[in-house]
Amino acid sequence: MTLPRLYPIVDKTTLDAHGISVGGFAEELARAGVTLLQYRDKSGTPQEILRAAAEIAAAFAGVDATLILNDRADLAALAGGGVHVGHRDLAPEDARRVVGAGRFVGVSTHNDAQVIAADAGAADYVAVGPVFATSTKVDAEPVIGLEGVRRARALTTKPLVAIGGITRENARSVIDAGADSVAVIGGLLVTGMRVGEVAREFLEILH
């Protein structure tokens, strides 16, 4: 599989803090040319998560894009998308059985041992981080830096997604360190700029 360079994460908590709707955020990303995104809602009910997934799907109507849900393989199967699991969540093999063949399954890793395990497992891609300090995850693991990205690249042949504190200023260095794609949350929210503008700048930088 080939991942697009930009992998936005639509994080409900972050959007709520900025007074931004999920649908409006998704529309901005769709117009910017995003083709892969993840929806993350750690506290929403199944109904709320499925409703948000439907809003995102509507925003991307007519666009060849892939939606991945965080953690919930059961809801991803209902929404027709892929799933991303943490290293403490459902195993990628189990997630694969739930969402079915042909759907993306991603897994988070934070150290070399986890990357090695993910490389041997059923996930389609491996996410590694946090690369830099991040404010969008309260229980973030220790920062791995660009060297951690380089080590992860050497330990897996699977597509590698880097996450954590990635901005327009440092995104290129993360790709140069070996990542195939950068996952961005807070880096898309820039004072005085529309989300779509920022996303387009990311896409130009990462081209």
Cα Rg for the chain, rounded, in angstroms? 16
Question: pLDDT tens across 138-171, in order?
Answer: 667 899 999 999 999 999 999 999 999 999 999 9
Residue 55 lies in a domain: yes
C-alpha–C-alpha distance, residues 108 and 152, integer Å: 12
Task: Read off the pLDDT band of 194 (50, 70, 90).
Answer: very high
What does residue 20 show for φ and ψ, rounded to 5 degrees?
-110, 135
CA distance 17 to 97: 35
Helices and strands (H and E) in the chain: how many: 9, 8
In a domain, 71, yes or no: yes
Average pLDDT over every residue of 180-204: 97
Considering only 100-109, 137-146, 181-190, which range has the smallest mean pLDDT? 137-146
CA–CA distance, 126 with 121 (Å, rounded to integer): 10
Residue 57 resides in a domain = yes
pLDDT of residue 207: 87
Range of the domain at 24: 6-206
CATH code where residue 106 lies: 3.20.20.70
| Dist CA 172 CA 59 (whole Å) | 28
Indicate whether 53 belongs to any domain.
yes
Domain tally, the chain: 1
Give ∠ CA 70-54-94 in degrees, rounded to 5. Answer: 35
Is the confidence at residue 60, as pLDDT, over 70?
yes
Q: Where are the beta strands (DSSP E) in the chain?
A: 6-11, 36-40, 66-70, 82-85, 105-109, 125-128, 160-163, 181-184
pTM, rounded to two decimals: 0.95
Residue 1 lies in a domain: no
Q: 7 is written with which tokens?
A: 């992998």
Mean pLDDT, rounded, of the chain:
96
Residues 128, 163 contacting (CB under 8 angstroms)? yes
Locate 102 and state its tokens.
């042909």
